[in-house]
Structures are given as structure tokens and as C-alpha cells.
Homo-oligomer: A and B are copies of this chain.
């Protein structure tokens, strides 16, 4: 459903993030903000925003809430292949391939801006910085996807869960969604299991191990990182793939 009124501040995560990837010209920023405000939408928790096989003809930019990309095997095994956080966009350029090869579900209530393909194309055509910002977003997304491959392929359960927490924390930070050493963690253990390729039972035991070693507190849908350095080192976490600092600006 469209939002009738909204002030510009809901757009902040998206603008902040894109601007960190590529400094946006004031005109590009204004044009994008205008387009986003016109396409504001809400969705409840646990909805499929779009499913495998569905046609794509717009871009959605998430403004608040968590989503996940996932795929399901014929026999029901599910794998979450990525999370989508505020400021990130769902399907930048995906319409070039016409249909989705995976599904996107909301994990919490979500506010997002939907921009139709033609509109999006003309926004990007009008401003190079904007086009580059969205390209950078795709590139970072690819890098995250690669890191997930390593996580699943070569890290043990404890490292794997620790790594996921580090990544989530560092991805939420630049959009202002962490508070000191804690952040929201509005997902079930089943979701975390599906994201880490573990069974729910073993994920639960792994969480207990992380708690027992004093690395984290996870309660009431809130993650508190008690010892970030220790967590990063048990995760073998090295954040460069997230491009958090001066994301490639030196060539820009």
C-alpha cells in the first residue's frame, strides 16, 4: 500500500548508503528522493515480496526492516543466500533478465520505495554518479555473495555464525542501525540456520557456545556483541569486502 504522506527522513538510510558508495550530485540526490517518495510502499513481516520466476519491472529500495533472498530445493531444503538491510536495493537492473531466479521475503515489516524500470533508467541516464552508485551496490553485493560461499565452504559452524554476526553488524552500522555494541536481530533461529547452512538444532547449540564464551548476548531479538575483537577473530572476519571505508572513491 502507498504511504499517503511522508517526510524525507525515511529516505536517509538509502541516501546515506548510496552516497557512501559514490558521492551523489545534489541534483541526482534530489531526483532520486523525489522518485522514491512517490513510490513508498509497506509490507508486513513474512511476506514474499517477489518469488522465483516472477517478472521484474521495477527496483525496490529498502528504507526500513529486514529482508532475505532465498531459494528452495525441490524437496524443501531452504537456503537464505543473503539478507537485505535498510539502504540496500533489491533488484537494481534485475529487470534486464526479466524474471527472478530467487525469492525475496520480508523478515520484519518493511518500508521500501519502488521505482519503475523506465523511471529508474532515466534517473540513471541523467546522472553518472547515480548510475555508478547503483553499480557499486551491485559489486558490493557480489562480493558479499562470494564471502558467503567461503563462509559455507570453509568455515566451521562456530566461525560461520560468528562471521554472519560480524557481517550483519558491519552492514547495519553505516546506516545508523547499530547502537554501541548492539543491534537488532529480528530473525528466528530457523532463519539463522538457513543462512548459515546449519540445522536449527546445531545452530542453537552454536549460539550457546558463542554465549558461553562471552562473545555475544542474544536475547529478545537483540544482539549484543560483548567482545567484538574476539568475535571477529573467531570468525576470521576481514571486512574489506564490504567496502565500508571510502568505498572505491579514489578512482571516482
Contact = CB atoms under 8 A, between A and B. Distances in A.
Within the oligomer, what is the number of copies of this chain?
Answer: 2
A201 interface: no
Nearest to A252: B96
Interface size class of A (residues with CB under 8 A): 35 or more
Contacts of A78: 154
Given A96-B139, A97-B139, 17 more contacts: A53-B240, A73-B154, A73-B155, A79-B150, A95-B251, A96-B252, A97-B140, A97-B243, A98-B249, A98-B251, A101-B241, A101-B243, A142-B142, A145-B149, A149-B152, A152-B153, A153-B194
B149 A79 contact: yes
Interface in A152-166: 152-155
Given A149-B149, A236-B75, A135 B96 contact: yes
Residue of A53, A93, A94, A150 with most chain B CB atoms under a 10 A cut-off: A150
Given A73-B154, A145-B145, A197-B152, A139 B82 contact: no
A53 B241 CA distance: 10
A102 interface: yes
Interface of A: 22, 53, 57, 69, 71, 73-75, 77-79, 81-82, 93-99, 101-102, 117, 132, 135-136, 138-143, 145-150, 152-155, 194, 196-197, 236, 238, 240-241, 243, 247-252
Contact of A96 (B79, B132, B141, B155): B132
Nearest to A78: B154
B136 A240 contact: no
A121 to B, nearest CB: 10
17 contacts: A69-B146, A73-B150, A73-B155, A79-B154, A93-B135, A93-B139, A97-B139, A97-B140, A97-B243, A98-B251, A101-B240, A101-B241, A101-B243, A142-B145, A145-B149, A153-B194, A154-B197
